[in-house]
Amino acid sequence: MEEREQEVQVRSGFSKKAFWTSLASGFLLLGLLLVSFGISGVACAVPIAGVGDFYVKFDQLEGTGYTFYPKLGETSSSDSSPQGTNLIKDVTIKNLQLYKDFKVGGDTIRVLITASKPVRITGLHHDAGLIQANAKFQNLTLKENNSSNWQKQFEQTSSKITLENAKLKTHYLFQETINMAGMKLTVEKIK
């Protein structure tokens, strides 16, 4: 009887080999997909969501047709978390870095996507909980609207936006088109 119990415990145990194989193959497939985008230069309608909050960093962003309004959205830890939606019509980003940290056992693994050349995006939809940057706006307007929908009561618009040395805690990202030349994906262990 004791032997049987032991046998059952052994079978239900964590298989490191299977875990690392599936994780590695997953990243390999994701890498191949992203590299194919990198080679072709253009990806269309790319949503990045469902991986919880991740960070977007860059040296400079220049965009036209900017709109901001508040919203409640899903994050990796909550179904309804306060966020801000940023819509930008045309964007050029220099030195873009997207990263997400995963806790695996006692270690922290960072999946990092970088672009060595300027990234061009059209139809950017970006939901963020926090934006830190040096910002410049042209024709900046902050206004209230008489609406029963709380999301429409306040909006910030600008014909041109420039963000420098920015870090954005991001929950959702969508682009109508993206041109990400010089893309690189790395998975590394960090402290």
Partner 1 sequence: MMIKRLTNKLLMGIIIFHILALSLLPPFTFTEVKAAADSPGFIIQADWVVGKNMTPSIVFTETSGSDKTPMLRVHYEEAVIYGMKLTKQFSTPSGPVSLTLKADGPVRMSGMTVDTSSLSFKGACLRATENIPDAGLEDVTMVVHYMNAGGSNIEQLSLQTVDGNQGPAKPKKTQILVDLALLPYTQALKEVEKISSGKKPLVCDEPVADEGDVKPGEPKASIPDELSREDLVPGEEVIEDRVGKVTDPVTKVIDPATGVIEPVTGITDPITDPVKDIVKPVEKVIKPVTKPVKKVLKPVTKPVKKIVKPVTKPVKEVVKPVEEKLKPVTAPVKHALSESCKRVKDTKGKITKDLGLDLIDQALKEGKTLPELCKGDASLTRALEDFEDGLTDILGLDFIFKALGQDEEAKLKRMKETLKNQKDNFIISL
Sites of contact with partner 1 (CB under 8 A): 64-68, 70, 72, 80-84, 87-89, 123, 128-147, 150, 153-154, 157, 159-160
Cα separation of 96 and 45, whole Å? 18
CA distances from 68 to 47, 62, 134 (A): 19, 15, 17
Measured from the CB atom, the residue of 56 and 183 that comes closer to partner 1 is 56
Measured from the CB atom, the residue of 83 and 179 that comes closer to partner 1 is 83
Cα separation of 57 and 114, whole Å? 10
Measured from the CB atom, the residue of 27 and 154 that comes closer to partner 1 is 154
Question: Beta partners for 157?
Answer: 67, 141
- The one-letter code for the residue type at 121 is I
The least distance separating partner 1 from the CB of residue 7, rounded to whole angstroms, comes to 49
Do 63 and 80 form a contact (C-beta atoms < 8 A)?
no
Cα separation of 72 and 79, whole Å? 9
The least distance separating partner 1 from the CB of residue 176, rounded to whole angstroms, comes to 9
Measured from the CB atom, the residue of 102 and 150 that comes closer to partner 1 is 150
The least distance separating partner 1 from the CB of residue 180, rounded to whole angstroms, comes to 20
The least distance separating partner 1 from the CB of residue 175, rounded to whole angstroms, comes to 12
